[in-house]
Each structure stands twice: as C-alpha cells, then as structure tokens.
Amino acid sequence: MIKPATPETIAQGAKLLLNNELCVFPTETVYGLGANALSADAVLKIYQAKGRPAYNPLIVHIGSLDQLDEIVKEWSSLAKILTAKFWPGPLTVVVPRTDRIPAIVSAGLDTVAVRMPAHPIAQQLLQACNIPLAAPSANRSETISPTTAEHVAKNLPDIPLIIDGGPCIWGIESTVLDLTGNRPRLLRPGALSLSALREVVAEIELPQIVDDESAKLSPGMMKRHYAPRAKLILSNDLEQIDWSSLAKPIGLLLCHKQATPIMQHAAQIELLGYEAAAYATDLYAALHRLDDAQVSTIVAELPPNEEAWLAIHNRLTRAAT
Ligand code: TXA
Ligand code: MG
C-alpha cells in the first residue's frame, strides 16, 4: 500500500521494520525494499519478495556512523576518507563484516556492502527505527528498478507499506566500490561518477561484465539485469536498422531532444537528451513507460562512448542481454 511520507507513515514503517516486516522507502537513487539487517528472518523476506537468487548479496543502509562498529570489522583509512566526502549519498562500500550481520545479508561472503543514503525520508526512517536496514532496489529480480512509488506498487503489490517520497533524483543505483583489496575496485558503476571518485582515489580498478557463473564469485556483475518486458535492442546507428524485421509496436529511447525521421517507426518515443545525469534520472522511468505502453520492441540509441556514461552503458547493456 502506498502512503505519503508523513511522520505517521514513517513511524508505521519503523514499527514494521522493528517487527522484522518489509517496508519500501525512497532513496536518492532508487526505491529500496527494506528489512532489519540484523535479522536473518527479516532479510529472507526480501529474497522471497524479489525472487532474488541467494548468491546475490544486499546493501546495508545506515543512518549514522555510530552504526558502523556493530556491522563492520575493519574500517580502513580509505573508507574513512571516501565516506567523509561522499556520505550521505550514492556511494556503497564493500568492507569486512562482523558476525552481527547474518550470512544471508552478504550471501555467505565475509564482507558487507554499506551505504548511508542522503534522502531525507530514508534518513528519518533510519533514525526512527535505529537499526541498519538491508535494502535492495524494490523490484522483482531482473526487472527494472523503481524510481517512483507507483513503479514499486506495480511490480511488488504485496509489500505492507510503500512510503511515497516522489520521484528519485538520481534515478540510477549507487556506485559500489570494493575496498577489501589493495586497490579500490569498482563493482558497479552508478550515480556517483568515476570522475568524482578520482578526486579522492587516483587508481580504481574498473569492472568487467562476466558470465553469470563467474559472477557468483564477484556479485554485482551479473549480466542480465534491469530488463524491461519488451525486447531491447541497442544501436549505434539507427539509420541501419531493418525496421520491418522488428516485432511491433516499437518504442524508441533516444538521446535526441528534437524530431528525427526514424521516429515514424515508433508507437512511443522517449527523448532523454545528451546529458548523462539527466538521462540517468529518467532512464528507468522511461523503460517503465515503454513497458506500460506494451511495446514489443524497444530500440535504444547508444549514448556517447564516454566515461560519464559508464553506468548508463552498463544498465543498457545488461537490460539488452
Ligand atoms: O542505490 C542503491 O544502491 C539501491 C538503493 C536502494 O540503496 N540499492 C541497490 O541494491 O541497488 P541492489 O541489491 O539492487 O544492488 C546491490 C549491489 C549488487 O550488485 C550486489 O551484488 C552488490 O551490491 N553487493 C552487495 N553486497 C556485496 C558484497 N558483500 N560484495 C560484493 N558486492 C556486493
Ligand atoms: Mg537491484
């Protein structure tokens, strides 16, 4: 059930979470499906509601740095520096975990992914319940992440409470950085850009998308993810597409902001522009709109092959797998 984010709703959400029930809340990236991160029973409900494979670990959200002691075993100087700069915000760090975090949260790994969200509603909820919250994106596994409360209700109708905080400002998930090795390793490009990270750490190992079997060893890199219902085709050159061979109706996802002749082939058109952050903010919402319009094929124009577009390329490529 969707409820506006009033103090009463937040109190109700905190109560559910303390009773080891699920509650959906907005973050600045995407909506999260929250549960008490200290309870294996509560976290199991997340996996069940999402149909999430047990080998894919969850991010633990905290409301204050005091909560780190309980869940994190080693907090390196690099972790301190990075989080001092980017928290609260769309950065998730993977660090060694304590035994207080049930194995199910981390899919059996001896690490935990932690993030302090910046969204005021997420912060108020975290303060109100005063426990760390495990929260993946609030969608069924392998479907498009939600950036509005309505996206969540459509995809996960049985969650007891969805706190509505309006559309998410980043619209794409947090950047996940593994801090357990010698050098920080990017596990998932996301809302926080590499150029912002490089202002703090010069050398970052970049991700490779690997096949799903090997991805189990290094989660976050699973190939297929974020997929719309329609078949998604990526193209560098829309002029070369054989439109007659595609299942109709066709939806178009373009970087343009102005009309082009290829638009005649489409039943619905989404114009996201050539600015990476603005494109990211509306990408999932546009894919949801195209699915709602029941197009059979989505043709997406590949955005520029530049680092600023890394997270978007990653999501589009995985959605098209
Ligand atoms: O923006 C976000 O990060 C959103 C909001 C709700 O905070 N959450 C989110 O969670 O995107 P989820 O579960 O959809 O993605 C979590 C990512 C996955 O790629 C997962 O494999 C990785 O984080 N991850 C979690 N724990 C990990 C760990 N211990 N080691 C390596 N990767 C981990
Ligand atoms: Mg997700």
DSSP class per residue in 31-97: -EEEEETT-HHHHHHHHHHHT--TTS--EEE-SSGGGHHHHBS---HHHHHHHHHH-SSSEEEEEEB
From the CB of 132, is ligand 1 less than 6 Å away?
no
Task: Specify the ligand 1 atom closest to the Cα of 59.
Answer: 25
Instruction: Return the pLDDT at 9.
Output: 98
Work out the mean pLDDT of the chain and round it to a whole number: 94
Q: Is the peptide bond before 88 cis (omega within 30 degrees of 0)?
A: yes
Residue range 305-312: mean pLDDT, rounded:
95
pLDDT-derived band at 235, boundaries 50, 70, 90: very high
Residue range 150-177: mean pLDDT, rounded:
98
Q: How far is the centre of ligand 2, averaged over its atoms, from the C-alpha of 24 (Å)?
A: 13
* CA–CA distance, 152 with 134 (Å, rounded to integer): 17
Count of all residues that appear for the chain in the document: 321
Q: How far is the centre of ligand 2, averaged over its atoms, from the C-alpha of 259 (Å)?
A: 33
Q: How far is the centre of ligand 1, averaged over its atoms, from the C-alpha of 257 (Å)?
A: 32
Task: Specify the ligand 1 atom closest to the Cα of 115.
Answer: 7
Flag whether pLDDT at 212 surpasses 60. Answer: no
Residue range 207-229: mean pLDDT, rounded:
63
Q: Whose CA is nearest to atom 3 of ligand 1?
A: 174
- SS3 at position 187: strand
If you compute the radius of gyration of the chain from its CA atoms, what whole number of angstroms results? 19
Which residue is associated with the tokens 């619905």? Answer: 268
In this structure, the number of other CB atoms found within 10 A of the CB of residue 58 comes to 26
From the CB of 188, is ligand 1 less than 6 Å away?
yes
Does an H or E element contain 298, and which? Answer: strand 297-301
Flag whether pLDDT at 223 surpasses 70. Answer: no
Q: Name residues whose C-beta falls within 8 Å of residue 217's C-beta, 6 or more positions apart in sequence.
A: none
Tell me, what amino acid is at 194?
Answer: L
Flag whether pLDDT at 293 surpasses 70. Answer: yes
Q: How far is the centre of ligand 2, averaged over its atoms, from the C-alpha of 213 (Å)?
A: 18
Two structure tokens written together for 33:
């499906």
Instruction: Return the pLDDT at 215.
Output: 55
Residue range 163-188: mean pLDDT, rounded:
97
Distance of CA 270 to the CA centre of its chain: 21
Task: Specify the ligand 1 atom closest to the Cα of 172.
Answer: 1
Flag whether pLDDT at 255 surpasses 80. Answer: yes
Task: Specify the ligand 1 atom closest to the Cα of 56.
Answer: 21
Q: Are 72 and 43 in contact (CB under 8 A)?
A: no
Instruction: Return the pLDDT at 202.
Output: 87
From the CB of 126, is ligand 1 less than 6 Å away?
no
Dump pLDDT digits (tens) for 182-211.
999 999 999 999 999 999 998 999 876 555
Q: Whose CA is nearest to atom 19 of ligand 1?
A: 220
Flag whether pLDDT at 213 surpasses 90. Answer: no
Instruction: Return the pLDDT at 258.
Output: 78
Q: How far is the centre of ligand 2, averaged over its atoms, from the C-alpha of 124 (Å)?
A: 22
pLDDT-derived band at 221, boundaries 50, 70, 90: low
Two structure tokens written together for 132:
């760390």
Dump pLDDT digits (tens) for 73-117.
999 999 999 999 999 999 999 999 999 999 999 999 999 999 999
Instruction: Return the pLDDT at 226.
Output: 79
Instruction: Return the pLDDT at 220.
Output: 55
